Structure 1
Amino acid sequence: MSALLSKDTVRRGVAAHSAIGLVCCALLYLICVSGSAIVLYEEFQRLEQLDAPEMESIAPQAVDRAVAAVVASEAGEPPTTHLYVHMPTEALPRTTITTDTQAVHVDADGAIAAPEENAWSEFLLALHYRLNLPPVWGMTLVGMFGAMIVALGVSGVVAHPRIFRDAFRLRARRKDEVATLDWHNRLAVWTLPFALAIALTGTMIGLFYVAGFSLAASAYDGDSEAALAPVFGAEGEADPAPAPVPRVAPVLAHMARDYPAVRVSYVILHDPGTRGQHVQVIGEHHRRLVFGEYYHFAPDGSFEGTTGLADGAMGQQFAASIYNLHFGNYGGLPVKIAYIVFGVALSVVVATGTFIWLDKQARKGRPRPLVHAGWWGVTLGVPLAILATLLARLALGNGEPFVAIFWAVTLAAVGLAIAQRRPWAKRRLPPANPEYAR
């Protein structure tokens, strides 16, 4: 076969192969960097809108007034299918109401204070969650990269039998590939439990759509809601006939009386203003990994039961724990700081792994200066691009095209690095040595 191809064709094929590999590594690096940043999702929301009213709690009657005000503001519009009331929490002490068409902050008295303006935080979440692609495609791709991290972690341990014995051996003073390899191996060992936990949970979250659709197609005649009902509960039957919007105050009073240890994080009105409506509460349980339990109420405020995410089948509790375990939404600020530190370390492992491979190729007589330079552009360009979007948000406002800014800065950094045709850091290539060339 090789005899039928010219040297120029082979050279182009090798270049294309290297470019595809660089793109995969770049996306994996992007997921790790953005994941380290999105740990502070709630804190970023507060930074974006410093003047939004904040409170430790809000009276049930004030929530009723807020719901009524939001519903009244949408009079004449198509009815919303869901109305979410975000209750004040420790991480985000704000009351926010979201419908199909708007999101507003309300003050402690229940009056609408201002529209919610957190476009940058949502951009950053979408960047990590689905690479700003359509949900099904983006989340599936991110899930596949999560599986790749698991494979890289396991294969790395197998390929380096002394990796645990040398866990604290670091020759960082050397200015060559030995130091890079040591940093890569040591950080990989120190972060291995974190990397596996994050990668496994990320894979489960990312492949949610694929798994749900596959289960629905194979066992539920294509009904995805029925496939997920055994875990997250089923929606009630719809009845579009008009009805008064239910009051939230009796629901919150019931939760305070019968579940005083549960912190209400959300109140959800399903199909509000119709006879098929019902109220659902998400309650956080102290010292539990589950994101919360679903408490179900009839329109008149009578309690109908729970879904079982906190005390039901083991599979339900496991499914409800994946999100918090992945994003570090438990344990407060100390856990978030730990997630950021480990996330940055994992990003360094991905970045140095690519440099190590490129250096090995150069020692074998197959240098790739353009790819090497491009990888420097990715390594520095991704965090700079995220910072550029944040600065654009703070300087220019909520409506900026953050996706376009991010990719423009990233591609500009890569293009500038490739145009220079050399790495942005001078690195000496020592002769091959079995100690680090394995």
Structure 2
Amino acid sequence: MTLAFSKDAVQRALSGHAAIGLLASALLYLICLTGTVVVFYQEWQRIEQPNAPEMAAIAPDAVQRGVAAVLATEKDKPGTTHLYVHMPVDGLPRTTITTDYQGVHVTADGRIAGPEENAWSEFLLAAHYALNIPGLVGMTIVGIFGVMILALALSGIVAHPRIFRDAFRLRARDNHGVGLADWHNRLSVWTLPFSLAMALTGAMIGLGVVGAYGLAAAFYKNDVEAAYAPIFGEEAKPDAAPAPLADVAVPLAWLARNHPGVRPTYIILHDPQTRGQHIQLIAEHPRRLIYGETYQFGADGRYHGKVGLSDGHLGQQLAASTYNLHFGNYGGLPVKLAYIVFGLALTIVVATGTSIWLGKRQRRGLHEPRLRAGWDGVIWGVPIALTLTFLARLLLGNDAPLVAIFWTLTIAIPLVAIAIRPEPRPKQLLQRLLAASSIVCIAIGVSGMAQ
């Protein structure tokens, strides 16, 4: 039996199929671009709130005073389950205390300086981490796209057997897409180790959460924390009976005395002001890729041991190294700059890959100016949306609806390009809009930092 369709119906079906492929490419491009920008996550926080108090270090007693001061402001609320203290580090020399209800900066002597206001930085991280989709769904989608990048990188090598031999062959002139294909292939080769590392670690982070939920359902009676415990350690049993506040200064002093070569980066106080409270110190180990080792203490400051991320089994050390390897949180500014360069190259590879695909369709006689315009809207619309979202943060403050602004612009710009201006292509117009919005953001940002 042969199905008969009109030529127009077939053309519409092909266009619909291409549009689905374009959507997948758009999400992949967005993930790569936001991942590149979020490398400077700490620096964005300093730009967002330039007047927050900064310090190279803070005394243990000052940390204790800050913790007590923050909890004193929450006496009329149900007890917070976790209190986090971000200790000053080189990239972000600030002390910040976060509870279930608030986040505040504290001064070097432990006084509350004001609320933490880094909404754009958090929005950006959530956009890359989970496409701003709450819960498990967003991280799963991003993890799947990590697998997709891995598959594209490996299949690209197989599909181009001369790709390494021609690693430095570049025909700059765009002769029927040849120049664009050369840029795509060369950047793919030059960034291959980076692309594989980012794809693999991204897939591990995103799909690892799915795996944890699966293990919890199969072996731990849906207790996700129990599934994570063999790697990241387990929490003590809660006891909600009231108790005096634990002294976090004692563990900090113990760490400085017994492990002077490590640097505390986070303090986690579980169930503060209850009999079940306990303390975890996360400390960076020099010349190690792990995000840190976790040292555990009781409410009385007694040392209970460490989790083993620095010297435990290989799976623990690998899991603890994934985050720094993916986000470039090691090696300081030189490593971050390298991640920016390679991240931009990977983003260009994704963008040019789709452009090459559209060019091939056009050379086969499938002239689709609306798809071309839509892809122009994606390539230039996503950075425009990021820029205007940051501008909204500067103008409207920390409560600006950043997620709504970003996704409205990200969806609307390609749709407007498709509907209004398929020919001539909107590329140059969008480039001018990006340049203008960037200049305005820089001007307002510099003005705000100077005040």
**TM-score interval (norm. to shorter):** over 0.9
* Matching residue of 2:433: none
2:60 paired with 1:60: yes
Alignment partners' CA distance in 1, 2:270 and 2:219: 27
Alignment partners' CA distance in 2, 1:425 and 1:378: 10
2:354 paired with 1:354: yes
CA distances 1:36-87 after superposition (whole Å, capped 9, x unpaired): 0000000000000011000000111111110110111000210000000111
| 1:23 partner letter | L
* Matching residue of 2:189: 189
Aligned with 1:77: secondary structure? coil
* Matching residue of 1:369: 369
| 1:384 partner letter | I
* Matching residue of 1:208: 208
Alignment partners' CA distance in 2, 1:425 and 1:274: 60
CA distances 1:289-336 after superposition (whole Å, capped 9, x unpaired): 100000000111111100000011111000000000000000000000
Alignment partners' CA distance in 2, 1:159 and 1:4: 34
Whether the 8 Å contact between 2:380 and 2:427 is mirrored in structure 1 is: no
* Matching residue of 1:104: 104
Query: Where do residues 80-91 of structure 1 align in structure 2 (5 Å cutoff)?
Result: 80-91=80-91
Alignment partners' CA distance in 2, 1:400 and 1:284: 34
Aligned with 2:35: secondary structure? helix
1:3 positional shift: 2.5
Query: Where do residues 139-178 of structure 1 align in structure 2 (5 Å cutoff)?
Result: 139-174=139-174, 176-178=176-178
| 1:171 partner letter | R
* Matching residue of 2:267: 267
| 2:391 partner letter | L
* Matching residue of 1:435: none
Alignment partners' CA distance in 1, 2:251 and 2:209: 32
- In structure 1, runs of 5+ residues without a counterpart are 427-438
Percent identity between matched residues is 62
1:364–1:7 Cα change, 3 Å: closer
Whether the 8 Å contact between 1:358 and 1:367 is mirrored in structure 2 is: no
Whether the 8 Å contact between 2:231 and 2:316 is mirrored in structure 1 is: yes
1:7 positional shift: 4.2
* Matching residue of 2:324: 324
2:239 paired with 1:239: yes
Alignment partners' CA distance in 2, 1:282 and 1:257: 15
1:21 positional shift: 0.8
Alignment partners' CA distance in 2, 1:17 and 1:388: 31
* Matching residue of 1:420: 421
Aligned with 1:40: secondary structure? helix
Aligned with 2:213: secondary structure? helix
* Matching residue of 1:227: 227
| 2:337 partner letter | I
Alignment partners' CA distance in 2, 1:94 and 1:2: 70
1:414 positional shift: 1.1
Quote the RMSD (CA, aligned, Å): 1.4
Number of residues of Structure 1 aligned to a counterpart in Structure 2: 426
Alignment partners' CA distance in 1, 2:123 and 2:200: 24
Alignment partners' CA distance in 1, 2:144 and 2:400: 30
Whether the 8 Å contact between 1:60 and 1:252 is mirrored in structure 2 is: yes
Alignment partners' CA distance in 1, 2:405 and 2:134: 18
TM-score normalised by length of structure 2? 0.92
TM-score normalised by length of structure 1? 0.95
Structure 1 range deviating more: 401-410 or 164-173:
401-410
| 1:46 partner letter | R
Alignment partners' CA distance in 1, 2:203 and 2:272: 34
* Matching residue of 1:429: none
Alignment partners' CA distance in 2, 1:251 and 1:130: 35
- In structure 2, runs of 5+ residues without a counterpart are 429-451
* Matching residue of 2:24: 24
* Matching residue of 2:50: 50
Alignment partners' CA distance in 1, 2:390 and 2:200: 29
Whether the 8 Å contact between 2:143 and 2:203 is mirrored in structure 1 is: yes
| 2:73 partner letter | S
Alignment partners' CA distance in 2, 1:186 and 1:417: 30
| 2:320 partner letter | A
| 2:83 partner letter | L
Alignment partners' CA distance in 2, 1:253 and 1:132: 39
* Matching residue of 2:396: 396
1:385–1:2 Cα change, 3 Å: farther
Alignment partners' CA distance in 2, 1:114 and 1:365: 62
* Matching residue of 1:115: 115
2:277 paired with 1:256: no
Whether the 8 Å contact between 2:377 and 2:427 is mirrored in structure 1 is: no
Alignment partners' CA distance in 1, 2:218 and 2:317: 24
1:425 positional shift: 5.5
CA distances 1:329-384 after superposition (whole Å, capped 9, x unpaired): 00000000000100000010000000111111111122222111110110011111
| 2:301 partner letter | G
